[in-house]
């Protein structure tokens, strides 16, 4: 049922939106669409308001966060907003010395490698991220019936940045800890699970209608290792927020072999990248969960005819699903023409209007 109470205003207004209905596997007026990284560098209006403001600082200014989150909703008519922030914001908020370098990603000054380093990962308190509570409140008031998706980085993906000290292709230090010191690894991802759950809790308590857990780099693992070393921590996150009753989305890149486990971890909706067709993904995930995806973001560079063709293929593969949220298979790339995204939203809505 619908949650009640003063802070539930945004959630109540959005309850019957196509996006939340699809997450709950209920009939929808049209297939809902949103895009990972819909707020960001593909939009000139984003580049303009971000001028001269470092990425992490921009996440701490509620008015700016509200404006940037709303930009793609206004421009594209997407069915959901995603909160403008970053997966490393809660780590910064507990005092980890890190920055987001343009064109690179998160860079951690002192990587976490030893048991002594764990002491730097103290629990996150809502008061550490009061700017998030404030921004979510402003946003849900502005959004009306459009749902707001809160998000966080999953323990494995956050651990990979902390241990490697930045982006990685091989995750050699991460895997060295995982295989070489499984107890230290388990303690690290358990701490991160607590921080992640607290960060999601703040967003839901302030009015977010759904949450997405980004385990972007979990595809680096085989299923047996995922199950043993990662799934317990991600499951802890999902369990911790279950009582709120908002849909929980779980996404990673290159996770075709992990889709079943990512559902089992406690997701209501499983995000799929472009490598696995949605009908096959549904077989891997099994009944009882909706799917989100999965147009190759590179298709947006191929012209509208190709976009329509490939989007139609996604819709066809999803036609037998109980719940489908249309999205890209990963984030919008910075050089994407925003008009291609607007036309894609119109196309999906037009094709699926019931």
Tokens describing residue 49: 């308001």
2 labeled part of a ligand binding site: no
Distance between CA atoms of residues 338 and 280, nearest Å:
30
74 labeled part of a ligand binding site: no
- 37 catalytic, yes or no? yes
Distance between CA atoms of residues 208 and 260, nearest Å:
26
- 15 catalytic, yes or no? no
| CA 352 to each of CA 25, 79, 245, 311, 325: distance values in angstroms, whole numbers, following the listed order | 15, 13, 27, 12, 12
330 labeled part of a ligand binding site: yes
Q: Which stretch binds ligand CP3 (CB under 6 A): 33-41, 111-119, 129-137, 140-148?
A: 33-41
161 labeled part of a ligand binding site: yes
Closest distance between ligand CP3 and the C-beta of residue 151, in Å? 5
From the list 24, 41, 122, 343, the catalytic residue is: 41
Beta partners for residue 213, in sequence order: 152, 250
Candidate list 156, 171, 199, 214; residue touching ligand CP3; CB under 6 A? 214
| CA 321 to each of CA 18, 241, 277, 285: distance values in angstroms, whole numbers, following the listed order | 15, 26, 12, 11
Distance between CA atoms of residues 159 and 174, nearest Å:
7
Which among 94, 82, 103, 102 has a CA at the least distance from the CA of 127?
A: 94
Distance between CA atoms of residues 193 and 207, nearest Å:
21
Candidate list 40, 263, 293, 329; residue touching ligand CP3; CB under 6 A? 40
- 86 catalytic, yes or no? yes
- 50 catalytic, yes or no? yes
Q: What residues contact residue 258 under an 8 Å CB cut-off, 6+ apart?
A: 218, 219, 221, 223, 226, 252
- 273 catalytic, yes or no? no
In the range 126-165, which residues lie near ligand CP3 by CB under 6 A? Answer: 151
102 near ligand CP3, rule: CB under 6 A: yes
55 near ligand CP3, rule: CB under 6 A: yes
From the list 21, 75, 79, 86, the catalytic residue is: 86
Distance between CA atoms of residues 314 and 278, nearest Å:
7
Closest distance between ligand CP3 and the C-beta of residue 287, in Å? 27
Closest distance between ligand CP3 and the C-beta of residue 136, in Å? 13
Candidate list 30, 37, 122, 227; residue touching ligand CP3; CB under 6 A? 37
Q: Which stretch binds ligand CP3 (CB under 6 A): 96-104, 119-127, 140-148, 314-322?
A: 96-104
# residues contacting ligand CP3 (CB under 6 A): 22
91 near ligand CP3, rule: CB under 6 A: no
Q: What residues contact residue 48 under an 8 Å CB cut-off, 6+ apart?
A: none
Q: Which stretch binds ligand CP3 (CB under 6 A): 103-111, 257-265, 302-310, 315-323?
A: 103-111
Which among 285, 282, 237, 235 has a CA at the least distance from the CA of 260?
A: 285
Which among 133, 270, 153, 269 has a CA at the least distance from the CA of 201?
A: 133
Tokens describing residue 7: 């802070």
171/214 with CB nearer ligand CP3: 214
Closest distance between ligand CP3 and the C-beta of residue 87, in Å? 4
327 near ligand CP3, rule: CB under 6 A: no
75 labeled part of a ligand binding site: no
199 near ligand CP3, rule: CB under 6 A: no
105 near ligand CP3, rule: CB under 6 A: yes
Candidate list 13, 18, 22, 38; residue touching ligand CP3; CB under 6 A? 38
Distance between CA atoms of residues 333 and 41, nearest Å:
8
117 labeled part of a ligand binding site: no
Q: What residues contact residue 316 under an 8 Å CB cut-off, 6+ apart?
A: none
Question: Does residue 124 contact residue 90 with C-beta atoms inside 8 Å?
Answer: yes
Which stretches of the chain bind ligand CP3, using CB under 6 A? Answer: 36-41, 50, 55, 82, 84, 86-87, 100, 102-106, 151, 214, 216, 331
Annotated binding site: 37-41, 86, 161, 216, 330
Catalytic residues: 37, 41, 50, 86, 161
């Amino acid at each position: 049922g619908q949650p009640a109470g003063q802070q539930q205003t945004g959630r109540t207004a959005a309850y019957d939106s196509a996006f939340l209905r699809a997450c709950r596997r209920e009939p929808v007026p049209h297939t809902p669409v949103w895009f990972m990284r819909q707020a960001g560098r593909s939009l000139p209006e984003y580049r303009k308001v971000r001028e001269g403001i470092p990425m992490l600082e921009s996440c701490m200014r509620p008015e700016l966060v509200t404006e940037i989150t709303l930009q793609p909703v206004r421009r594209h008519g997407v069915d959901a907003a995603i909160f403008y922030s970053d997966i490393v914001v809660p780590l910064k908020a507990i005092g980890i010395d890190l920055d987001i370098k343009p064109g690179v990603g998160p860079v951690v000054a002192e990587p976490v490698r030893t048991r002594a380093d764990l002491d730097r990962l103290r629990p996150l308190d809502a008061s550490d991220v009061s700017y998030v509570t404030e921004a979510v409140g402003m946003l849900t008031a502005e959004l009306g019936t459009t749902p707001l998706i809160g998000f966080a980085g999953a323990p494995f993906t956050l651990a990979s940045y902390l241990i490697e000290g930045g982006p990685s292709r091989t995750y050699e230090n991460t895997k060295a800890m995982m295989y070489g010191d499984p107890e230290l690894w388990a303690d690290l991802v358990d701490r991160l699970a607590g921080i992640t759950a607290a960060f999601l809790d703040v967003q839901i308590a302030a009015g977010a209608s759904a949450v997405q857990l980004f385990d972007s780099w979990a595809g680096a693992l085989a299923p047996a290792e995922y199950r043993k070393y990662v799934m317990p921590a991600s499951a802890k996150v999902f369990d911790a927020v279950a009582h709120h009753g908002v849909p929980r989305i779980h996404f990673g890149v290159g996770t075709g072999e992990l889709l079943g486990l990512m559902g089992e971890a406690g997701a209501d909706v499983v995000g799929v990248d472009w490598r696995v067709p949605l009908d096959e993904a549904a077989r891997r995930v099994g009944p009882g969960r909706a799917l989100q995806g999965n147009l190759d973001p590179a298709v947006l560079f191929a012209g509208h005819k190709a976009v329509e063709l490939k989007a139609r293929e996604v819709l066809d593969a999803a036609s037998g699903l109980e719940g489908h949220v249309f999205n890209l298979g990963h984030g919008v790339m910075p050089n994407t023409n925003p008009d291609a995204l607007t036309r894609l939203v119109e196309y999906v809505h037009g094709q699926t209007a019931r």
